[in-house]
Structure 1
Amino acid sequence: MTETTPYDADRARFTREGLARLVLCDEAVDVADSAGGLVATGNDPDCGPGGRVSQALQLVELAERALASAVVYERERGSSWAEIAQYLGTGAAEAEARFSAHLTEWDTAFTVPYRLDETGRKRLPRLPPAAYDPEDARTFLDRWALLRRIGIDDRQAVSRGLRMATPEEGTPPATS
């Protein structure tokens, strides 16, 4: 039985590399927005003891997710484990061991698009939101970058560099 998602046609316009890049962009936005929350000092009196440590820890967790997304993107664009490991300061085998679960999860999401929630009643998409609905993500990310003047006045600072699929190489349809 073939299981479809509402965004299969939109997703087919992107390569897996392009989808992985959108996910990385989306994760980077989360990191940037979280880091921004640590900049202003005006609300410090309202923050309980240890509160800023909590915010900083959340930032580290978001950065770890962005790192995992960067590894998935690099693998999708053809980077070897040795090339990735060079930037992690580890060996190729260690890098692969550290991130292989993320890659397995990414690969699985293209063949089994949904998983059940903890109640077993609700289907949840396996793909990260930016890859599940790439057109919405692309629009949001281009607007986010424009408002923060990333790429100065480039209205397509994110979408301009994405690798789109040719008709022969579109992302495979979801099946289960």
Structure 2
Amino acid sequence: MTETTPYDADRARFTRQALARLVLCDHATDVAEGAAGLVATENDPDTGPGGRVSQAFQLIELAERALASAVIYERERGSSWAEIAQYLELGPGEAEERFAAKLDGWNTAFDVPYRLDATGRKRIPQLPTAAYDPAWACDQLDRWASLQRIGIEAVSFGLVMAAPEEESPSVTP
């Protein structure tokens, strides 16, 4: 599939490290919002038996996804398996084995960015949304950070961007 999309040019402005960081930021907001949902008590009467346990369990799932994104980001920024493993209380080989499938999926998505749906007509992006459309992700994540009083442009400002391509000299007649 060699067709391009409008997102391809936007994505080219970002390094793989920056894209991985955007995915981590996106997953971190999911964790924060999931945790925030457990704070308010006013809707407790509307929640069925076990409902808060369900929310807390979903929070663990969201945190696991954020952890996998953090590992991918750390690998993209050059961290070794030994450096990552020390924070997971695992050996380097165990850490690599635990996250190998996620890292392989990440790497493969850059080589094969789309797959066709069951009809064979619609392309499905293989990258997480924040990496597939990073301009949108920056806007959304900066807005989220601003609303949380973390800071304006708290996400997009610190990203490692790709070096701009050198423009070819213009030819004058």
Structure 2 length as normaliser, TM-score?
A: 0.91
Rounded Cα–Cα distance in structure 1 between residues aligned with 2:134 and 2:20: 10
Rounded Cα–Cα distance in structure 1 between residues aligned with 2:119 and 2:48: 35
Runs of 5+ consecutive residues of structure 2 not aligned to the other structure: 166-173
Is the contact made by 1:115 and 1:123 (CA closer than 8 Å) also made in structure 2?
A: yes
Confirm whether residue 14 of structure 1 aligns to residue 21 of structure 2. no
Rounded Cα–Cα distance in structure 2 between residues aligned with 1:18 and 1:30: 19
Calculate the aligned-residue CA RMSD, in Å.
Answer: 1.4
Rounded Cα–Cα distance in structure 2 between residues aligned with 1:118 and 1:2: 19
2:163 is matched with 166
By relative contact order (CA 8 Å, sep 6+), the higher-ranking structure is 1
Which stretch shifts more, 102-111 or 1-10?
Answer: 1-10
1:115 is matched with 115
Larger Rg: 2
Rounded Cα–Cα distance in structure 2 between residues aligned with 1:115 and 1:55: 32
What are the equivalent positions in structure 2 for 1:107-146 lying under 5 Å apart? 107-117=107-117, 121-146=121-146
AA partner of residue 75 (structure 2): R
CA deviation map 1:118-165 (0-9, x unaligned): 5655321000000000000001101100111013xxx21111100000
Rounded Cα–Cα distance in structure 2 between residues aligned with 1:122 and 1:31: 30
Rounded Cα–Cα distance in structure 1 between residues aligned with 2:29 and 2:140: 10
For 1:115, what is the secondary structure of its paired residue? Answer: strand
- Give every structure 1 segment of 4 or more consecutive aligned residues whose post-TM-superposition deviation is greater than 6 Å: none
Is the contact made by 1:5 and 1:113 (CA closer than 8 Å) also made in structure 2?
A: no
Which stretch shifts more, 42-51 or 108-117?
Answer: 108-117
Identity of aligned residues (%): 76
For 2:6, what is the secondary structure of its paired residue? Answer: coil
Runs of 5+ consecutive residues of structure 1 not aligned to the other structure: 169-176
AA partner of residue 111 (structure 1): D
2:94 is matched with 94
Rounded Cα–Cα distance in structure 2 between residues aligned with 1:118 and 1:51: 34
Q: Name the count of aligned residue pairs.
A: 165
AA partner of residue 162 (structure 1): L
Confirm whether residue 104 of structure 1 aligns to residue 100 of structure 2. no
Rounded Cα–Cα distance in structure 2 between residues aligned with 1:98 and 1:116: 28
2:56 is matched with 56
